[in-house]
């Protein structure tokens, strides 16, 4: 294999200064750390890992992971090997870095060499990992995923007995599965997956277990096992549908007011003229658009905020800007307005644009100025 292709990646990125861009994303690493401690108090018997895939849900994997490592977090999950390669050298050698998708064919040796741990999701991945272990003459660490009813990743129950000989050749650090309906605790799939997990584990060599991501932690101790794998909850998203959010918000997105203009009643606004002023109005053009993750589905939906004053979004969201109604406000060009923050959380933005907070966070993009506090 060509080693150059698999150089350790470089995550540290240059973010523009506020004057060079249309807005600022503030990421509160202290709040993320407090959320991690809060989850540890909720699951006192379990290790609380951190899921930092997709650049820590858009908030910056290197910053988030190194901060949580300082707080005591010892296991980090990413989805892809490229994410693990970029993060590995920023973490202590004894910190576990786990690749949820496992090692793709041909990348097993790199995983072992740099010390990232694959999740074995398929019989093929298990066979390749044990083949490498034999070549290297040592047991290699791995996690094993079981499909307990999400039908996405993991070994099927019918495969288990034939795979037992191979399983005895790996250093099985954790047996895991993932809940399909965890944000709705009363959904019968949760109990069914728990029962399947317990039955399937009993057919395997003894190993620590993990079933809960963010939402599952809040079902209670019976779902927590030996390790929990929160992502969303660390970043402040609400874990359970329709219930109060016990976690601290972690981000704020502000946009720059580029231009103010006074218009007559009957003035058509933005692409497609989807809004028309009903009265003489003062309009603010704000330099954040859907390319910055402020989705086009938010056109004519909800408000941006200047202090505690709500400015309704009018017209379509453009790629790089949006228009808000600033009539009867003291807004000035160059001011910052809140797009995501205390008045409108990522979950609120998600609700208003028919998606989930996860998609809002991972869609934020890297074009804004960024400040870590
Ligand atoms: C993404 C993911 C998580 C984290 O999920 P959250 O709902 O963000 O806590 C945990 N486990 C697996 C297998 C995942 O894919």
For every one of its 373 residues, what pLDDT tens digit does the chain have, with 9 covering 90 and above?
A: 333 334 444 445 678 999 999 999 999 999 999 999 999 999 999 999 999 999 999 999 999 999 999 999 999 999 999 999 999 999 999 999 999 999 999 999 999 999 999 999 999 999 999 999 999 999 999 999 999 999 999 999 999 999 999 999 999 999 999 999 999 999 999 999 999 999 999 999 999 999 999 999 999 999 999 999 999 999 999 999 999 999 999 999 999 999 999 999 999 999 999 999 999 999 999 999 999 999 999 999 999 999 999 999 999 999 999 999 999 999 999 999 999 999 999 999 999 999 999 999 999 989 999 999 9
- pLDDT score, position 365: 86
Write down how long the chain is. 373
- pLDDT score, position 12: 53
Closest residue by Cα to atom 6, ligand 1, is: 231
Instruction: For residue 278, indicate whether it is catalytic.
Output: no
How far is ligand 1, taken at its centre, from the CA of residue 156, in Å?
20
Instruction: For residue 53, indicate whether it is catalytic.
Output: yes
* 296 alpha carbon, distance to own chain's centre: 21
- Please tell me the distance from the alpha carbon of residue 15 to that of residue 7, in angstroms, as a whole number: 23
- Which of 35, 43, 50, 100 should be mutated for ligand 1, with most atoms under 8 A from CB? 100
**Which ligand 1 atom lies nearest to the CA of residue 237?**
8
DSSP 292: G
**β pairing state of 281-286 and 50-51:** unpaired
Q: For tokens 């129950």, what's the residue? A: 157
Decide: 328 and 322 in contact? Cβ < 8 Å.
no
What pTM does this model have? 0.95
Closest by CA to 270, choosing from 312, 192, 324, 191, is 324
Decide: 261 and 269 in contact? Cβ < 8 Å.
no
How far is ligand 1, taken at its centre, from the CA of residue 146, in Å?
15
Classified as helix, coil or strand, 78 is strand
Angle at 40 between CA 35 and CA 45, to 5 degrees: 165
What are the distances in angstroms from CA 27 to CA 72, 234, 304, 336, 372? Answer: 20, 12, 19, 16, 5
How far is ligand 1, taken at its centre, from the CA of residue 151, in Å?
15
Closest by CA to 336, choosing from 230, 255, 276, 235, is 255
Helices (H) and strands (E) in the chain, counts: 11, 19
* Among 57, 139, 235, 271, the one annotated catalytic: 271
Neighbours of 20 (CB within 10 A): 10
Closest by CA to 177, choosing from 200, 205, 202, 203, is 200
């Amino acid at each position: 294999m060509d080693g150059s292709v698999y150089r350790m990646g470089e995550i540290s990125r240059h973010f523009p200064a506020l004057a060079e861009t249309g807005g600022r994303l503030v990421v509160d690493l202290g709040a993320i750390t407090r959320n991690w401690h809060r989850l540890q108090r909720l699951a006192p018997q379990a290790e609380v890992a951190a899921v930092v895939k997709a650049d820590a849900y858009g908030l910056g994997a290197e910053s988030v992971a190194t901060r949580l490592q300082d707080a005591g977090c010892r296991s980090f999950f990413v989805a892809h090997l490229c994410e693990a390669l970029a993060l590995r050298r920023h973490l202590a050698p004894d910190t576990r870095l786990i690749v949820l998708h496992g090692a793709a064919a041909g990348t097993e040796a790199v995983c072992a060499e740099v010390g990232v741990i694959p999740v074995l999701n398929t019989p093929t991945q298990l066979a390749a990992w044990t083949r490498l272990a034999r070549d290297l003459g040592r047991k290699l660490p791995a996690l094993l995923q079981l499909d307990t009813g999400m039908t996405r990743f993991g070994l099927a129950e019918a495969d288990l007995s034939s795979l037992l000989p191979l399983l005895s050749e790996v250093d099985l650090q954790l047996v895991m599965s993932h809940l399909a309906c965890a944000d709705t605790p009363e959904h019968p799939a949760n109990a069914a997956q728990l029962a399947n997990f317990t039955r399937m584990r009993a057919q395997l060599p003894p190993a620590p277990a993990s079933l809960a991501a963010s939402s599952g932690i809040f079902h209670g101790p019976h779902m927590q096992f030996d390790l929990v794998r929160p992502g969303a909850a660390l970043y402040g998203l609400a874990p359970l549908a329709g219930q109060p959010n016990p976690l601290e918000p972690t981000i704020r997105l502000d946009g720059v007011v580029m231009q103010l203009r006074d218009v007559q009643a009957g003035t058509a606004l933005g692409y497609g003229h989807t809004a028309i002023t009903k009265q003489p109005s003062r309009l603010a053009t704000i330099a954040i658009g859907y390319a910055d993750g402020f989705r086009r589905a938010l056109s004519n939906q909800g408000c941006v905020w200047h202090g505690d004053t709500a400015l309704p979004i009018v017209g379509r969201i453009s790629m790089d800007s949006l228009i808000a109604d600033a009539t009867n406000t003291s807004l000035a060009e160059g001011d910052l307005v809140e797009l995501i923050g205390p008045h409108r959380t990522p979950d609120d933005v998600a609700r208003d644009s028919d998606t989930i907070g996860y998609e809002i966070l991972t869609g934020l993009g890297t074009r804004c100025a960024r400040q870590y506090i």
